[in-house]
Structure 1
């Protein structure tokens, strides 16, 4: 199993190098571009198969145990190791990454974004996949940092070279924000590793967790405070947490469809995963000190994101639908951070569940918005509701129904994946960990509940305007409007898995919580609720 996990992480890198080579004569198909796009589908499909095999071979009776480990000394003087492994926290995110990347490669095979050669596109997509998979699989702080940074360059070029309007400034804003945050994070990681004498996450979590028997934590309270502040800033930028979020709407608006899917579906999860994997077990005292501030900023993000979406959704605002979904991610990730800040099993499990649910649902929404732009030529809400006469229910009923499904899943309708994570995060805030102010967290919970109502308001408004049309603007259908195509075959293939998993996670949450809860107990020893 250890070799399989290493192969899953490394194979996309090898596939990326192979994508830049000339295609063998017998595999060119109708042309070199089709061959390299087919190569991308094949490599990501094999990686997905490997991830599924890892999930099937995973010991579900012991999800807290680190499995499929590879542990090789790399820099002995600093005790930096090539250490891979998965548990109930990382396995769902690993499979989610492999699934979304495969679906993006499949979608791009039929709908390649306009831009430079397909070779570069496929190569960057595979490097991005390798870096993201490595982030969720490594168990060494320095390897985590390298994997964390590995995704920045491919995403920068995907936005800058294959994006839409304003792609240049959006790509620069993305890279500058994330790089500056990463510099601060690196200082925190070095501080932890050098003070503790090891960079191994498992050893650090075992030695520094509450209730351990190793003669007390290796890291002093002051070191933990500095580490949480430094590492937390880098993770918060990637999450993104208000007020470090401003790069996200521009990046999403400018990115190609598959770039937006991967950015929302997996890259944002790297930040919140770092909070759970590194800060909670390694610096619990520091996290407890900063938890109320994290909760407060998360709550502001929930309200701010929802109000921004309401402003974009109103008539006459010239709101962009991609930008609206990007701002919705700020609110949804606020629930994830709120759950983490409670430092309880309930809240952290809710955060991990919301991570996966957001990847499925928002990935689907960005696929749909990209396809809608291909059909209508715009993502401007006023044009979709008025001048273009979109009214999807009447013209493309299956497409309109699927967009409505994605919206109600995103607002947290019971029975769908979006419900459980947000509910558990709010329940965690109802009874936070010992030492945290319950009145403060009850206030955060109340504002979070208001955020759920605002989320329902703007998403239902979007559904009404785009799927039904604006009742006060009923133009004559544009020429050729009747030919607007409904869901195509490749779209059905790319979107169906996301729909099925959204329903499955909503109806059977125990399938995911059964993996995460024992692992969370291991990361939070001594916490009973």
Structure 2
């Protein structure tokens, strides 16, 4: 089934590229819709009880090097596969006015690559899919973007390639190091490597290997201070590109940290917990401050992603089930809500020919449907209770505060929530409220500084096609905010399975026996009380 999810968009891309633009549009819609249906069926047939890998496919690829085609999904990856297919569909619908067949083919190639990233359980296969994703996004930004598209595309690729090179070095060092240390055959298989956590922990230079992986994932997340490519990429990308970039490409970073940094190197996660918590907290507050300072509406939404993904990193480094659950939930919610925000900003700027906040007013009165959905999207970005973003942020912060070692960073991050409320409410007040432009004297300036006179009659509300693109994101943002059980059992089962794997292979105590501690004892586990590093880590990983 997973191979089918990868092949459908690949075949769709081939057919689209060899057809005319009109056929390519329909092929892209059909391929992404079929992928959404299949992934949805897989989602609801997945057994959430044990959180184990499912839909497994494993075929030897290069046996002499220990490389295989190994794909599988669990509750941590399956939601992102569904999200990838859905956002590809809405991105294509949101940009149905494009007349280039290659545009739609690239979206399908990107969908296939992202699906492969979330499904791969072989490190080499994971790396190859990771690289595949860069190519279509580079061209989508560089060819169909706005005025500074080339600069944004090149910066995006340079940052991504830097992380990719480091990750490749880390993959090779990890696999060859484990093979040499254990005397076992070389293997890049995740399931094999996770049985060798003791050998991984003892590898010379394991800290460098950890950061080689982490660098690639922090760049993609993105985390402060390696976030500077994101505002340019978002601002210059076409609407569909921004939806995919915010919706699923950023999630590759958070997923990678969970699956590989925590899943294979949990001791290093605990060692560098404070460093990562500081970076996450700075990202939350700094991202919110930068968003508040923006004059360009799309750039404001871009910086809000730095803020929101900071909560994701905080939840992960809490190293407990609640925080990790919140991080995954926040990533799914962010994909839906921020994807919707970029879609509405794109629709609005297409009509008004400007993204300058000061040049907009009364959009709700002028276009009630667009204004209402945009209002809902921005309130979702604010973390309004009743929408998916609230569940994710609240749970991630609760997990952060629950751990005494990260609690202070959770409290500091509350400042980011207040700043977020400020720039979101300002954007709503300035852009959506007020008197609708009703005379030809209302003047607006586009992104290039040119002025345009518009009347209300020039601004038509959302078309049925645009409404169809927005509807799934609106519905899911509300449903997951009111009924989180549509997602929480999937996340909980696999989170517990991940943490149990870490516990089960960690040697504790002087004789190597496993000890488990009550939550009330966690705060007392430290070198000053005679407990070693492993015992402290074990306690932090308690749910």
TM-score (norm 2): 0.87
Task: For residue 195 of structure 1, report the CA deviation from its aligned partner.
Answer: 1.7
Q: How far apart are residue 56 of structure 1 and its match?
A: 3.0
1:70 corresponds, among 46, 57, 69, to 57
Partner of 1:91: 78
Residue in structure 2 matching 1:19, options 6, 16, 20 = 16
Correspondence 1:369 to 2:340: no
Q: 2:377 pairs with 406, 413, 431, which one?
A: 406
Match of 1:507 among 473, 476, 482: 482
RMSD: 1.7
Report what 1:498 is aligned to. Answer: 473
**1:454 and 2:419 matched:** yes
Corresponding residue to 2:391 among 417, 420, 426 = 420
Cα deviation for residue 219 of structure 1 reads 3.7
Aligned to 1:295: 277
Match of 1:176 among 134, 158, 166: 158
**Could you tell me which residue of structure 1 aligns to residue 31 of structure 2?**
43
Structure 2 vs 1, CA of residues 276 and 105 (structure 1 numbering), >3 Å: closer, same or farther? Answer: same
Separation in 1 of the partners of 2:145 and 2:292? Answer: 26
Q: Secondary structure at the match of 1:413?
A: coil
Q: Distance in 2 between matches of 1:57 and 1:519?
A: 15
- What are the superposed Cα offsets for residues 360-411 of structure 1, whole Å, 9 maximum, x if unpaired? 0000000000000111001111111xxxxx3112211221121111111111
How far apart, in 1, do the equivalents of 2:206 and 2:159 lie? 24
Shift in alpha-carbon separation, 1:183–1:164, aligned structure 2, 3 A: same
Residue in 1 aligned with 2:410? 445
Shift of 1:106: 2.2
Hey, what does 2:258 align to over in structure 1?
A: 276
Q: Which residue of 2 aligns with 1:464?
A: 429
Contact conserved, 1:85 with 1:137, CA < 8 A, in 2? Answer: yes
Offset, 1:203? 2.5
Distance 1:454 1:221, change over 3 A: farther
Unaligned runs of 5+ in 1: 24-31, 209-215, 313-318, 385-389, 433-437
Encode CA deviations 1:208-248: one digit per residue, 9 max, x unaligned: 2xxxxxxx444416443222111100111111111100000
Q: Which residue of 2 aligns with 1:188?
A: 170
Q: Do the aligned residues in 1 keep the contact of 2:28 with 2:104 (CA within 8 Å)?
A: yes
- 2: distance between equivalents of 1:187 and 1:260? 30
d(CA) in 1 for partners of 2:103, 2:218: 28
Corresponding residue of 1:59: 47
1:200 aligns with 2:182: no
Asked if the contact 1:309/1:458 (under 8 Å) is kept, the reply is yes
Once the two structures are overlaid, the 10-residue window that deviates more, 43-52 or 198-207, is 198-207
TM-score (norm 1): 0.89
**Hey, what does 1:101 align to over in structure 2?**
88
Q: Is the 8 A contact 1:192 1:223 kept in 2?
A: no
Contact 1:37 1:118 in 2 (8 A): no
Q: Once the two structures are superposed, what CA deviation does each residue of 1:146-198 show, in whole Å capped at 9, x if it has no partner? A: 11111101100000100011001111100011101110111111111112232
Instruction: Report the alpha carbon displacement of residue 487 of structure 1 after superposing the two structures with TM.
Output: 1.8
Aligned 8 A contact 1:464 1:470 in 2: no
Task: Report the CA distance between 1:57 and its aligned residue.
Answer: 2.7
Q: CA deviation at 1:78?
A: 2.3
Tell me if the contact between 1:346 and 1:428 (Cα under 8 Å) persists in the aligned partners: yes
Aligned residue for 2:120? 138
Alpha-carbon offset, residue 200 of structure 1: 1.3
Q: Per the alignment, in what secondary structure is the counterpart of residue 147 of structure 1?
A: helix
In structure 2, what is the equivalent of residue 80 of structure 1? 67
Paired residues, what number? 485
Give yes or no for contact 1:88–1:516 (8 Å, CA) kept in 2.
yes
Question: 38-47 or 489-498: which moved more?
Answer: 38-47
Answer whether contact 1:66 1:85 (CA < 8 A) is retained: yes
Moved over 4 A (4+): none
Number of the residue aligned with 2:447: none
SS at the partner of 2:406? helix
- Structure 1: how far apart are the matches of 2:258 and 2:159? 22
Which residue of 6, 19, 35 corresponds with 2:3? 6
> Secondary structure of the residue that 1:73 maps to in structure 2?
strand
Whole-angstrom CA distance in 1 between matches of 2:354 and 2:458: 16
State the partner residue of 2:321: 345
Matches within 5 A, 1:311-390: 311-312=293-294, 319-384=295-360, 390=361
Q: Is the 8 A contact 1:192 1:219 kept in 2?
A: no
Tell me if structure 1 keeps the 8 A contact 2:16–2:23.
no
Give 5+ residue unaligned stretches, structure 2. 180-186, 443-452, 504-540
**1:426-477 Cα deviation digits (max 9, x unpaired):** 1111122xxxxx2x52221111111111111110000000011499xx9954
